Amino acid sequence: MNTSIIGFFNTTGGSGGKTSTLYHLCWMFADLRVRVIAVDLDPKANLTASFIDEDRLEALWPQGNHTKTIFGSIHPLLTGIGDIADPYLEYIEDNLSLLVGDPALSGFEDQLSEVWPKCMDRDERAFRVTSSFWRIMQIAAESHKADVILMDLAPNLGAINRAALIAANYIVIPLSPDLFSLQGLRNLGPKLWRWREEWRERLEKNPVEELKLPEGRMQPVGYIVLQHSERLDRPVKAYNRWIARIPEVYRSDVLKESGGENILVKSDPYCLSLLKHYRSLMPMAQEARKPLFHLKPADGAIGTHFKAVQEGYKDFEKLAREIARRSGVVIS
């Protein structure tokens, strides 16, 4: 299969709703009859907790081996007794399934760091470990007949994220309009370029012809500005200076392009969306364990809340369609 893998990634924690945005996009793609797999590669497993209640999580994270999580799939590599195990998919609904996250995944960081230089020595196991996330997702995509895979990643530049991003065809960068997100962009851009170049060097040294490996495209398709506050259709003063600098920083540090100094975010072709905060709807959606645009009057979405639900559906549908257009995902 030729399933697009899209990583949602930034290097600043608390970016105003990265995981929540990804959660809603998974549901929106499913609503649009796109077969989607959500992949939780953040050891905090917040995306998994968004989809699954605690009782089910307790069953998936038993004492001992976690065979039905992403960690369970890479566990044979960690123990040195084999290659990846076939992944388990938790079905959320017909078009939407989840590769379950696991706090135990943090233990994979050292292994990934150790094998990275060994790829240059044509070490077969090093390639199997480094490509494990991608190969697990390929098996999952075939099983689910997936059209798109959306990955949630932790906000750091560690070895787990390097292996995850090597697996990605495309990258979406969620941002908040603040200094921390701008600094995160400045750190992220050069690292993406470096990882892409280093992986291409390693690909040439693959010692096993039949071992399929990711291309490591990591193509940025745009950014999303999250939780921007508006007053009279303009960002409030505290955010204005940071919003104004996003187009230039994104071009210079992520794309290695010039320009952007006089481009407004709202008219920037690299801006996928300016998403509202939906302050009153988010707690309601979390309580109902559903995306905000699925809220009903029985959930408390009445009056102005119901109007906001309808607006939320339009916002996320527009964003999903734009991401699909840029990443080759077909929506009928």
Sort 153 into a burial class: Cβ within 10 Å, 0-12 / 13-18 / 19+: buried
Residues of the chain with pLDDT under 50: 232
Spell out the residues 6+ positions from residue 180 whose beta carbon is closer than 8 angstroms to its own. 12
Residue with tokens 């899209």: 6
46-105: pLDDT as tens digits? 999 999 999 999 999 999 889 999 999 999 998 887 899 999 999 999 999 999 999 999
Residues 141 and 159: beta-carbon distance below 8 Å: no
What is the distance between the alpha carbons of residues 116 and 163, in angstroms, rounded to a whole number?
A: 9
Select the CATH number that applies to the domain covering 4-327 from these four: 3.20.10.10, 3.30.1360.120, 3.40.50.300, 1.10.1200.10: 3.40.50.300
- pLDDT value of position 232: 45
210: which 2 tokens? 């039949």
Residue with tokens 């605690």: 54
- pLDDT value of position 13: 64
